[in-house]
A and B are shown apart, each in its own frame.
Chain A
């Protein structure tokens, strides 16, 4: 069963704030394997953390 992209993005964001369960991580990996849009958007959400840290440097 495939997660829809909308749910994937919510989980990617939550993954920045809590440890995802094993099943959640597997579901994300399966999804990323076939969805370039979510791979791109996920990398962009994670990039925000590095970008914000640069603001005070």
Chain B
């Protein structure tokens, strides 16, 4: 039974690694977080007790390890100059705050979600974001953390947090517009 549990957990390692790598840009940090999560999972196997889906349970443990890693490394990630203000996208708008060029609708966005090449394009756009902006955005959208928790872990104000998330979304929208939906 115990051996079986361990095998099942190991089978999920590639998924967990992928999950961690999406949030942590360093492959080494991602490996470490997964390793710590697996050790914790095996030590606390009785806490699982088949109550929920094994992958969901392991992902929950991994999330905590990822947040720990972010907290430890957040001192190293200083914002780039201008990374915390929203002025950059103001060129999209005229002096009255209207679109200089109104955005067109995207064709078949739902269909794009089914395509591997689209997901690769999205990852490329994410990689192009400034590190701290990407980190905040992925904490929100990938880990699914609330803004209050993100602000706390990154030691920034909620206004600053919203500006970073706004910048991330506007940059990703533009990037996908150029690289995929053109």
Contact = CB atoms under 8 A, between A and B. Distances in A.
A7 to B, nearest CB: 6
Interface string B14-57: 01001100100000000000000000000000000000000000
A50 B176 CA distance: 14
A48 B53 CA distance: 26
B169 A45 contact: yes
Interface string A12-51: 0110111000000000000000011110110111011111
Given A14-B166, A44-B103, A7 B173 contact: no
Q: How would you classify the secondary structure of chain A's contact residues: helix, strand, loop or mixed?
A: helix
B80 interface: no
9 contacts: A4-B98, A5-B98, A9-B89, A10-B166, A13-B165, A13-B166, A41-B173, A45-B170, A52-B141
Interface of B: 15, 18-19, 22, 86, 89-90, 92-93, 96-99, 102-106, 109, 112-113, 118-119, 122-123, 138, 140-142, 147, 161-162, 165-166, 169-170, 172-173, 176-177
